[in-house]
Amino acid sequence: MSLKHQIALTFLKGIGATLSRSILAYFGNAEDVFKVPPGRLKMVPGIGAKIVDQLNLSEALHKAELELEYVEKNNIDVIFFTDERYPKKLRNCNDAPILLYSKGNANLNQQRIVSIVGTRNATDYGRALCKQLLEDLQQYDVLVVSGLALGIDVAAHKESLRLNIPTVGVLGHGLDRLYPNQNRTVADKMLLNGGLLTEYPSGTKPDRENFPQRNRIVAGMADVTVVIEAGLKGGALITAEIANSYNRDVFAFPGRITDEYSEGCNFLIRNNKAGLLSCAADLAFLLGWDSPSTGKSKSKQSQFTLPIDLTTEERTIWETLQQQNAPVAIDDLSIRLNMPVSQLAMNLLNMEMQGYINARPGKMYVIS
């Protein structure tokens, strides 16, 4: 598939991420979009005559040629939606960008990815929480994602660099600039252990409307979003809302009710939009993560603790969970066991009450 045509797809007027996915599903590749008669384009679900009439095919191809020259000259990696390097967790989001521009050496499909967000007006309390969280997360082999903004974002990137944790900054503009400029030194260091990521081509300015769009990548890439410190308005709460819409886990550190920049976190917790977090150990437990030092011993132990007082159905469930190294969703268990969810839920509740299994956020279950 031609990289030029893939880039050109992002320059088409009236064609966003969702319609681009429809086009790919219909034609199978980006190149055909620029070759077929307009009548065939109208057959793509969601694309009518109005959109086809305004399509700037030639202009998009010209812009793509210029962008291709820029990325090749500056060693920028272009990752298309169908590329195996494209973040798999993000691909599952219905509004995921069709193409990403990347610099650095980050593995965007690392097994454990944590997004950390917060206010641009970080306090000493917020920075201390960020420091402690990342020191505790270091043992779990995570990739840390944030937005490289002032405040909590850049604090998360700096602490990650200090601890040699790979970290990625998602930008709201092209890779030909950096906003805010005072974070450039941090950004340059991130290229050596992590990197920079954006959906925007070169020449894109850091306009205000780009940053809420950027936040969906921050939320969509990760297993979990952690809000460290936030007011009632701002990007951190937007990111948390997006993560919730993707059915991803969200956690927040509480603060004093009189603190302006804890109001957002307290709001999320109070309204069941985020779980209460006090330390990284809470996070690891709730997500079912074993540290490298405990993972092997736990799996060995579980091989010899076969329960003897379970029903036949419960024993089958237990054996299925015992074979897994991570929490299993109730829907997946239902399919594997060919058991209705309602019946399975009753068995799982009984097993949980007996202490044989633990429930995790998102209706996930794991052996105790």
Cis peptide bond prior to 180, omega within 30° of 0 = yes
Contact 157, 118 (CB under 8 A): no
Mean pLDDT, residues 304-329: 79
> Domains of the chain: which residue ranges?
1-73, 104-287, 292-367
The 10s digit of each residue's pLDDT in 180-194 is 999 999 999 999 999
* Identity of the amino acid at 299: S
For the segment(s) 1-73, the CATH number from 3.40.50.300, 3.40.50.150, 1.10.150.20, 1.10.10.10 is 1.10.150.20
Mean pLDDT, residues 22-35: 86
Fold of the domain spanning 104-287: Rossmann fold (3.40.50)
Gap between the Cα atoms of 251 and 253, Å rounded: 7
Mean pLDDT, residues 260-281: 92
CB atoms within 10 A of CB 260: 14
In 3D space, the residue among 222, 261, 232 whose CA is nearest the CA of residue 113 turns out to be: 222
Which strand (E) or helix (H) includes residue 350? helix 341-353
Contact 87, 221 (CB under 8 A): yes
Return all residues near 257 (Cβ < 8 A) that are at least 6 apart.
266
Q: Cβ-count burial of 134 within 10 angstroms (0-12 exposed, 13-18 middle, 19+ buried)?
A: buried
User: Which of 17-21, 194-198, 293-297, 323-327 has the lowest average pLDDT?
Assistant: 293-297
CB atoms within 10 A of CB 208: 7
- The CATH number given to 292-367 is 1.10.10.10
Gap between the Cα atoms of 219 and 160, Å rounded: 18
Residue 42, classed as helix, strand or coil, is: coil
The 10s digit of each residue's pLDDT in 112-143 is 999 999 999 999 999 999 999 999 999 999 99
Gap between the Cα atoms of 237 and 118, Å rounded: 8
